[in-house]
Amino acid sequence: MAKGIFVTTGGRHRKIVKVFATVGNVYRQVKKVFATVGGVWRQILSGGGVTYYGNSTDGTLQPLSSARHNLMAAHVGNYALFAGGIVSNVVDAYDKALTKVSVTSLRNDSYHGASASTGTYALFAGGGSSGVSTGVHGAVDTYDSTLTRGTATNLYGSAIQHTGTYSGLYAIFAGGLYAGVYLAYVNAYDETLTRTRPTGFTLARSLLASAVVGDYTLFGGGYTGTASAVVDVYDAGLTRLSALALTSARYRLATANVPNYALFAGGNGTTAPWATDTVDVFTDTLMRLTPIALRESRYGLTGVSKDGYAFFSGGQSSSAIRSTTEVFDNTLTRISADDLSVGRHSLAATHTGQYILFGGGMNLTSSGYYDTVDVYVKD
């Protein structure tokens, strides 16, 4: 049964996400719509929450230009960007109407690179071609709100399997792997794209995750030959501080934030069955709260934040691909959301306008890559 109301616009089926009615000659948004199904009233439109909108298979938007995994995602101006991935330097951009537009490619293939969105620029840093030793570089490509590609000073060291985020003042890229050596470097770029190098991590590691809450940027988990629970924290001035560790060691985890909280979700742990459902929550005073949980244990998932919601989607357990999308609101309550159109891990997520996009990924086979893009909308 269809979930929602659809109309045809320009030959495409579109889901209605907002309805307005006049009350006293003033337009008011309709928050809920009900219909009878089998003699029972069912809600078919809600004015609060998250709705699955469509995907690149049903014609809602075009797919990525090529199927790929371990790609990067960011946003700038009116655009959502998906960049790089295995043996790829392609950049796909979608505007607020979900129309795909042409963009200059990255200068290098960027598999397992890292990205950050500053508001002024989308930055894509480091990565390689395939594997962890082929074509690894430290180049930083930038895109402004017109999608013009520029460059910034290279990372201090070439890196793959590192992480990137935006603190509110700096785009920060940290950790990673190069030539078999785990990295503790931290690279920070200000609004003029000037690079500084803060004090490095307490523990060098790759496959970590990063999040921002309040004045703090947190780097948690990772891999050093085994899973790590270490959390390195930097304040607004890029001074390194101490913080409680994650409640369990894990890598290939995902992060997102809601107001006043940073969430570190899922990951690959140290004991069978490896995948975890743990979500560690840090407050804007660096308190670690009692963990909450995903519905399914998984690693290789992706996270993204939008309008007070934290999204976690995709991933895998030791033997199964996950299509689950889970959403937490600003009270840390998990709200319902439909699954991805196809399960996959090592995907990427970003947003533009009212839309949240999940692109790329792979299944359990070595060549099972996806060009699929799924779209959600905040009601």
What is the dotted CATH code of the domain comprising 50-378?
A: 2.120.10.80
CA 261, 277, 172, 79 dihedral sign is: negative
For tokens 């670690």, what's the residue?
288
- pLDDT surpassing 80 at residue 8: no
Residues 280-294: pLDDT tens digits? 999 999 999 999 999
**Lowest-pLDDT range of 67-76, 140-149, 161-170, 265-274:** 265-274
Q: pTM of the entire structure?
A: 0.88
- Cα separation of 262 and 276, whole Å? 18
Phi, psi of 170 (to 5 degrees): -135, 140
Instruction: Write down the pLDDT at residue 38.
Output: 53
Residues 318-357: pLDDT tens digits? 789 999 999 999 999 999 899 999 999 999 999 999 999 9
Instruction: Write down the pLDDT at residue 256.
Output: 98
Instruction: Write down the pLDDT at residue 39.
Output: 57
Residues 178-201: pLDDT tens digits? 999 999 999 999 999 999 999 999
pLDDT, mean of residues 78-101: 97
Instruction: Write down the pLDDT at residue 1.
Output: 33
Instruction: Write down the pLDDT at residue 4.
Output: 52
pLDDT, mean of residues 25-39: 56
Q: Pick the residue with more confidence: 95 or 24?
A: 95
Percent of the chain whose predicted confidence (pLDDT) is above 70: 87
- pLDDT surpassing 50 at residue 3: no
For tokens 């988990």, what's the residue?
221
The domains of the chain are located at: 6-46, 50-378
- pLDDT surpassing 90 at residue 270: no
pLDDT, mean of residues 56-62: 97
- pLDDT surpassing 60 at residue 31: no
- pLDDT surpassing 60 at residue 47: no
pLDDT, mean of residues 7-33: 57
Q: Which of 7-11, 47-51, 323-327 has the highest mean pLDDT?
A: 323-327
Instruction: Write down the pLDDT at residue 168.
Output: 96
**Contact of 228 with 205, CB cutoff 8 Å:** yes
Of 102, 59, 72, residue with least CA distance to 372: 59
Residues 195-226: pLDDT tens digits? 999 999 999 999 999 999 999 999 999 999 99
- Cα separation of 123 and 226, whole Å? 29
**Lowest-pLDDT range of 29-38, 247-256, 285-294:** 29-38
Task: Locate 301 and state its tokens.
Answer: 């998932």
Instruction: Write down the pLDDT at residue 129.
Output: 94
**Residue 17: band (very low, low, confident or very high) from pLDDT cuts 50, 70, 90:** low
- pLDDT surpassing 70 at residue 40: no
Instruction: Write down the pLDDT at residue 2.
Output: 40
HEC per residue, the chain = CCCCCEEEECCEEEECCCEEEEECCEEEEECEEEEEECCEEEEEEECCCEEEEEECCCCCCCCCCCCCCCCEEEEECCEEEEECCCCCCCEEEECCCCCEECCCCCCCCCECCEEEECCCCEEEEEEECECCCECCEEEEEEECCCCCEEEECCCCCCCECCEEEECCCCEEEECCEECCEECCCEEEECCCCCEECCCCCCCCCECCEEEEECCEEEEECCECCCECCCEEEECCCCCEECCCCCCCCCECCEEEEECCEEEEECCECCCCCCECCEEEEEECCCCECCCEECCCCCECCEEEEECCEEEEECCECCCCECCCEEEECCCCCEECCCCCCCCCECCEEEEECCEEEEECCECCCCCCECCCEEEEEEC
Task: Locate 72 and state its tokens.
Answer: 């990067």
